[in-house]
Amino acid sequence: MSRPIRLLLADDQDLVRGGLSALLSLEPDIEVVAQVGRGDEIVKALRQHSPDVALIDIEMPGMDGIEAVRQAVEARLSTRCLIVTTFGRPGYLRRAMDAGAAGFVVKDTPAEQLAAMVRRVAQGQRVVDPALAADSLASGLNPLTEREQQVLRAAAEGGSIKQIAAELHLSAGTVRNHLSAAIGKTGAENRHDAARQAASRGWI
């Protein structure tokens, strides 16, 4: 028998992480070798344990899962990353795949189906929740540029124009221009509303 698929779980909720670990460990060909509860611990754990596949949640403290995937890909780590999230937002799917994720599924996926997806990802395939893929195609592309996304993420954290400018090493005028463009693209009333709408669509 070939060696089991080595799996890392990254989720900030202990109960969810423990449940996934218990369910997937029942599979004879899957071995959970590591678990982390923060996004900024993921790349270090990937280097340390060299799993074949990592199941990664999006919303975690320290760093979101999509950024962790991007950093893992940029570091040329061999682990293939599968995003597993409660938030089935079409924009998240596109961002995850753009970052280099090998797949995207929602947490209410049945355990047998999730295990099958882990196997497919380990074999080099890409897997995406079918309903989410259809929604993503229907919703179209994220209209926000990378810089507009960065500015809105900073705005979502409550930063002032001056604080956002300092954080992103931009001038206050440039920040205002990006925010104005983002407000126009989202049809929002102000920058806070734009950040809320963009987040609800999975664009940031």
pLDDT at 7: 97
CATH architecture of structural domain 146-200: Orthogonal Bundle (1.10)
Closest CA to 135 of 162, 164, 113, 106: 106
Boundaries of every domain in the chain: 5-139, 146-200
pLDDT at 56: 96
pLDDT at 132: 65
Closest CA to 188 of 172, 203, 169, 174: 203
Q: What is the pTM of this model?
A: 0.66
Token pair in block for residue 71: 């950093």
Q: Distance (Å, rounded) from C-alpha 32 to C-alpha 21?
A: 6
67: pLDDT strictly greater than 70: yes
Q: Distance (Å, rounded) from C-alpha 37 to C-alpha 142?
A: 29
pLDDT, one tens digit per residue, over 170-202 is: 999 999 989 988 888 888 888 888 898 888 777
Q: Give me the residue label for tokens 């996926």.
A: 109
pLDDT, one tens digit per residue, over 1-54 is: 478 999 999 999 999 899 999 999 999 999 999 999 999 999 999 999 999 999
Evaluate whether 106 touches 84 at the Cβ level (below 8 Å).
yes
Task: Give me the count of residues in the chain.
Answer: 204
pLDDT, one tens digit per residue, over 153-171 is: 898 888 889 999 998 999 9
135: pLDDT strictly greater than 70: no
Which CATH class, in words, describes the domain spanning 5-139?
alpha beta
Q: Which amino acid is at 173?
A: G
